[in-house]
Structure 1
């Protein structure tokens, strides 16, 4: 019994995984950046777990929301530029979704 590794196939899978991960991270980060530029700063309240080390209080959550609203008001962009940044953010998130769906399809269908 001989075990042989197809190194060319291994390298092509490695390169595809590396490029796919880089594309997803890049476009997700760019999408978040565009979302902030559009004045829609995502404020996510943490889930409360019984064994959590730190849980934000209502006061801290309200302070974060207040800071996000203040930053949105300080945005120097015009309304058209904000809408364009929002559309760009949605497009970046769509690229991420297509990359993930494509990867899943390649695994399920193309094995």
Structure 2
């Protein structure tokens, strides 16, 4: 019994995985950057976990929300530029969603 490795197929899968990863991570990072430029800094409230993760205090959460609000007020962009950045952020998140959905469809359909 011999095992044959199809190297061409292996490199096709490797290339697709690398491109997909770069696409999703890159557009997600760009989307977050545009969201911040639009003045909508995402502040995530802490969740309660049991013994697994140290949760930030309410004081730290309030300080983070205050810093996000201050950063949003200091934005040098006009309202039109902020709107454009927000649309760009949503477009980046849509590209991420489409890439993930296409990957899932490739797995399910074949």
* Bin of the TM-score, shorter chain as denominator length: over 0.9
- Output the aligned Cα RMSD: 1.0
**How many pairs are equivalent?**
110
Structure 2: tracts of 5 or more residues without a match? none
2:31 and 2:93 in contact (8 A); partners too? yes
2:28 and 2:96 in contact (8 A); partners too? yes
Q: TM-score, normalised by structure 2?
A: 0.96
Secondary structure of the equivalent of 1:49?
A: coil
Q: 1:16 aligns to what?
A: 16
Q: TM-score, normalised by structure 1?
A: 0.95
Distance (Å, rounded) in 2 between the aligned partners of 1:54 and 1:104: 33
Distance (Å, rounded) in 2 between the aligned partners of 1:82 and 1:26: 21
- Deviation per CA, 1:11-33, whole angstroms, max 9, x where unpaired? 00110001100110000000000
Q: 1:106 aligns to what?
A: 106
Structure 1: tracts of 5 or more residues without a match? none
Distance (Å, rounded) in 2 between the aligned partners of 1:54 and 1:97: 30
**Any runs of at least 4 consecutive aligned residues in structure 1 with deviations exceeding 6 A, and if so which?**
none
Q: 1:38 aligns to what?
A: 38
Secondary structure of the equivalent of 1:14?
A: helix
Could you say if the C-alpha distance between residues 90 and 53 of structure 1 is closer, same or farther in structure 2, counting changes exceeding 3 Å? Answer: closer
